Chain A
Amino acid sequence: MLSRTANELFWMARHIERAENTARLLDVTYRTSLLPYQPQEPGLAWAEPWAVPLISTGGATTYYKTYPVLAAENVLRFMILDAGYPSSIYCCLRAARESARSVRGAITSEMYEDLNGAWIEMRNYDYQRLQGIGVSEFLDWVKMRSHLFRGVTFGTMLRDEAYHFIRLGTHIERADNTARILDTKYHILLPSAADVGGAVDYYQWSSLLQSLSGFEAYRKIYSDVITPRRVAELLVLRDDMPRSLHSCLKLIDDTLEILCDDHSKELRRQAGELYARLHFGRTEDIMRYGLHEYLMDFLQRIYVLAAEVSARFLVPTY
């Protein structure tokens, strides 16, 4: 298959997944922002709940170029509707649709029609309309469109190279995004050290779990109070949790085994190594190392892996 085609499919999948996870990230922020909160020191803007999505997606600098102050409305405008911010939900859906259009022959017509439909709906949103239906309702819509597209892909597509590049894109993006969302808890400061393990702490962890569709799973598996250690275990190391880092890496590793030939041994090695760290990793080691530090290290590694995928298959340098 043409490298350009593979590249468009890979990024189509990444952009849809990113739109979904941005919706998840905003959802957890929105929930957290409804909890009682008093800044410890005035002027510590980065500790505000609404700063968190900007920090964890790396969009803060761009944000402050357009919006002088941190405010819920501005962050929502920026991360949902901003046509100039490449990671906004608007831009993600536009980019995904453009990619699909440019490689229509490589996907099924059902997939194209579904994505085209999502984009046409997205185009009709402005802030007023967003407020009208409610932020949570809109974020649910984004998640639903992503689910729908994944379902159409799964249900209609030939299991060929194109399908595997789509899966690869989805899971690389998801691994990255799950790590970022999990790390948001690190940035949300508690009113005081005494609140660790208190009510606000609990609500923060539970809304984080909910945003990653992990709340019900947590209850099923642990039937116990929510602790940071278990949340980390669930979202990093559990292989049966579809958004966990372990699950993502398993899919990435499996897909690369199909796609790689003798010329891509280094890529196979990197993916295998990262997978093994999760497959054989222990929660106590992660907690001892520090969850935040662990996630930062993971983000770096997944970034390097994606760059290797790109150089090997998508944008070859020969």
Chain B
Amino acid sequence: MLVPNLSSPRMSSHTYDEMTGQDGGIRAHYSAFANWLDNTDATRIAQKREEAERAFHRVGITFAVYGENSHSDTERLIPFDIVPRIIPADEWEVLETGLKQRVHALNLFLADVYHEQRILKAGAIPAERVLGNTQYRREMAGMDVPGGIYAHIAGVDIVRAGAGEYYVLEDNLRVPSGVSYMLENRKMMMRLFPELFATRSIRPVQHYPDMLLENLRGVGPKSVENPTVAVLTPGAYNSAYFEHAFLAQQMGVELVEGQDLFVQNDTVFMRTTRGPKRVHVIYRRVDDDFLDPLAFRKDSMLGVPGLFAAYRAGRVTLANAIGTGVADDKSIYPFVPDMIRYYLAEEPILNNVPTFMLYKPKDCEYALANLADLVVKEVHGAGGYGMLVGPASTAEERASFRERILAAPEKYIAQPTLALSTCPTFVGAGVAPRHIDLRPYVLSGTDIDLVPGGLTRVALREGSLVVNSSQGGGTKDTWVLA
């Protein structure tokens, strides 16, 4: 049962499997695990899988919205698969260097577009793509942020295609989530199968909360020696609430909602039982629009009136900064390699997926003629919604997308359909290959750092390329080998 069924009809010959090579042999970095899987009793594995599910439920590592009147169990569990995604040391080294380079350039880009706009003046990126972007926050123009860092936490989505080469699919620079699953998955694997870790060749990730806290404390307002950090959540009904509570608890800082904070003389305070207590750094998991009803959406109940003024005055640091969306927008994504060349004078280490920008008539024409082969995405879409996967689409779906594209081509991009790599995964019938991606979490503060690994998401439906948890995705532990 351990050898993945490579003859599945969906599996075309150019899909890269993480564990098994084209010749059917086990790749070297998977050999120890494959051995273990071979020699471990199937009943024990089944037992352990059940144990994992029970444990996740009890601890309440849940996701999705809790419905007030619903009797159904709406606090859902993200399925966890016990076959790890393993990355060999040399591959990780490339990924790590490439990620640091990329996030470094993205932060320089953000600092630039909110100040001198050198890159626009140099013509490396069309100015109207940036300044006319709904994600560009005029309020941030000319404002300095500590260390010039905008994206303190970046979740960069990476996939691997047919020949085994890595691509960056998306830079998430607003409020990327999922890191709690990375941590809980590792904890679960160590608890279920401690013998797998006995060789001590798997690099640890559990220090992420410490790194995050250090990182946040390093970007406090000037002249504050011992900054107080808080995590700002939209509240218990938010789909990622578990993660917010988890990170606050792991860092040993307060988890606050908008109503817990107030601003006086451009200074942010928490309401505590011992009176007001000043907050210096806010790791906010609330979107830009909802942060401050005085500066942004007036109907926001989640924000803190006056927060933006305090931020502008340099009395509090927000992580991530406001306005980072202009750098991870899908219409800006095609320019990231140019940013790296422009700011760092280096060649990009990580590949971008070739992208057609449908506001360009030629690109649009090509895309419309080849809808069946392409993936079409909304520029501002997220979560795997508003997306057409050409090869898996019906003629009606393509016709409807064609109309939507013609009505507003600037709202769409198109990319070739990547044959995402697969990883063996437990499914109803046994172990079978399923498509995966990878989201490492890059922290920027006084320096740029990341823990070895990230969150591996897996599309549990056969042949599906959509790994998002809202659409039937699961997760795996990610091992970077020492």
Residue positions of A touching B, CB distance < 8 A = 1-4, 6, 98, 101-102, 104-105, 109, 112-113, 123, 161, 165, 259, 261, 263, 313-314, 316, 318
Contacts and interface: CB of A to CB of B under 8 A. Distances in A.
B273 A105 contact: no
A263 B275 contact: yes
Nearest to A261: B274
Given A3-B260, A4-B257, A4-B259, A102 B273 contact: no
Contact of A105 (B249, B257, B276): B249
Interface in B220-279: 235-236, 245, 248-249, 254-257, 259-260, 270-276
Contact of B71 (A3, A112, A123): A123
A141 to B, nearest CB: 20
A109 B270 CA distance: 25
Interface of B: 58-60, 66, 71, 235-236, 245, 248-249, 254-257, 259-260, 270-276
B276 A2 contact: no
Q: What 9 A-B pairs have minimum CB-CB distances, sorted nearest first?
A: A102-B236, A3-B271, A313-B273, A105-B249, A6-B273, A4-B260, A1-B273, A2-B260, A316-B271
Contact of B273 (A98, A101, A112, A161): A161
Given A1-B272, A2-B272, A101 B236 contact: yes
Contacts of B236: 98, 101-102
Given A3-B260, A104-B60, A113-B58, A318 B273 contact: no
Nearest to A318: B276
20 contacts: A1-B272, A1-B273, A2-B256, A2-B260, A2-B271, A3-B271, A3-B273, A4-B271, A98-B236, A102-B235, A104-B245, A105-B245, A105-B248, A123-B71, A161-B273, A263-B275, A313-B273, A314-B273, A318-B275, A318-B276
Contacts of B275: 263, 316, 318
Contacts of B235: 102
Contacts of A112: 60
A313 B273 CA distance: 5
Contacts of A2: 254, 256, 260, 270-273
A175 to B, nearest CB: 21
Given A3-B260, A102-B236, A112-B60, 14 more contacts: A1-B272, A2-B256, A2-B260, A2-B270, A2-B273, A3-B271, A98-B236, A105-B248, A105-B249, A113-B58, A123-B71, A161-B273, A165-B273, A263-B275
Main secondary structure of the interface of B (DSSP, over half): mixed
A161 B272 CA distance: 11
Nearest to A165: B273
A109 B59 contact: yes
A109 B256 CA distance: 20
Contacts of B249: 105
A4 B233 CA distance: 13
Contacts of B71: 123
Contacts of A259: 273
B310 to A, nearest CB: 17
A112 B257 CA distance: 21
A261 B273 CA distance: 10
A261 B260 CA distance: 21
Contacts of B255: 105
Contacts of A313: 273
Nearest to A317: B271
Nearest to A99: B236
Contacts of A123: 71
Contacts of A3: 260, 271-273
A102 B244 CA distance: 11
Contacts of B60: 104, 112
A180 to B, nearest CB: 28
Nearest to A263: B275
A318 B236 CA distance: 25
A122 B464 CA distance: 40
A273 B275 CA distance: 25
Contacts of A1: 272-273
Nearest to A314: B273
A268 to B, nearest CB: 15
Contacts of B257: 4
Nearest to A164: B273
Nearest to A109: B59
A263 B273 CA distance: 11
Contacts of A98: 236
A59 B266 CA distance: 46
A259 B255 CA distance: 22
A1 B51 CA distance: 35
Contacts of A4: 257, 259-260, 271
Nearest to B249: A105
Q: Which of A4, A98, A123 has the most CB of B within 10 A?
A: A4
A313 B71 CA distance: 35
Nearest to B257: A4
A310 to B, nearest CB: 11
Q: Which of B257, B259, B274, B276 has the most CB of A within 10 A?
A: B274
Q: Which of A6, A105, A109, A113 has the most CB of B within 10 A?
A: A105
Q: Which of A2, A3, A6 has the most CB of B within 10 A?
A: A2
B178 to A, nearest CB: 20
Contacts of B271: 2-4, 316, 318
A106 to B, nearest CB: 9
Nearest to B235: A102
A248 to B, nearest CB: 21
A94 to B, nearest CB: 9
